[in-house]
Amino acid sequence: MGEAQKGLLSVIEKLKGSTEQEVRIVLLGLDNAGKTTLLKSLASEDVSTITPTQGFNIKSVASNGMKLNVWDIGGQRKIRPFWKKYLENTDLLIYVIDSADKKRFEETGLELSELIDEENLKGVPVLIFANKQDLATSSPASEVAEGLNLHTYRDREWQIQACSAVSGEGVQDGMNWICNNIVNKKK
């Protein structure tokens, strides 16, 4: 079983005691950041053929009275204005960054900053995946965090996690953070 599958299973296992608890997760980031790859990896699906998301993908996993709903919304410039329509009742924002695409760091930082200011995300925890760490040109998560000024987000819990959605490396650690800091607080 891959790292990503173990991560999703650990979330579900830690939630076994809850009764019909639902966690709504919105998965956002610029186009080509790896959002759909991450989602497919979490759902134990083949990640070898991924096409750009033109609208959105939804994956739900039910186990022992728990339902984890993940909304993966396309990141193309023409779709981003519609992101805010999907934010209501969000329990967690996962924001995925292509840490090897330094040319787009400013753009992704502006988009994240605008999301953080959205009323429907007020106080909502944020997990930032610094994706594509398997590429030689990727920036370390600490450098990405500094560039995004994450230290200025004091009104919510946040975590940046280095990962590779393709290999699953680092995804488990992000899922553990969700379990330990987000899901347990909903109980």
Inter-residue contact 116 to 126 (CB < 8 Å) = yes
List residues forming the annotated binding site for GTP.
29-36, 75, 131-134
Single-letter amino acid code for the residue at 91:
D
Q: What is the pLDDT along the chain (187 residues), one digit of tens a residue?
A: 555 555 666 665 665 544 457 889 999 999 999 999 998 887 778 788 877 777 788 888 643 345 778 889 999 999 999 999 999 999 999 999 999 999 999 999 999 999 999 999 999 999 999 999 999 999 999 999 999 999 999 999 999 999 999 998 998 888 888 877 665 565 5
List residues forming the annotated binding site for Mg(2+).
36, 53
pTM: 0.85
- Which domains, and CATH codes, for the chain? 3-186 (3.40.50.300)
Active site residue 76: yes
Q: Choose among 95, 90, 124: nearest CA to 22.
A: 90
How far is CA 121 from each of CA 74, 97, 124, 150, 155, rounded to the nearest angstrom?
18, 19, 5, 16, 11
Q: Which of 5, 54, 76, 161 is catalytic?
A: 76
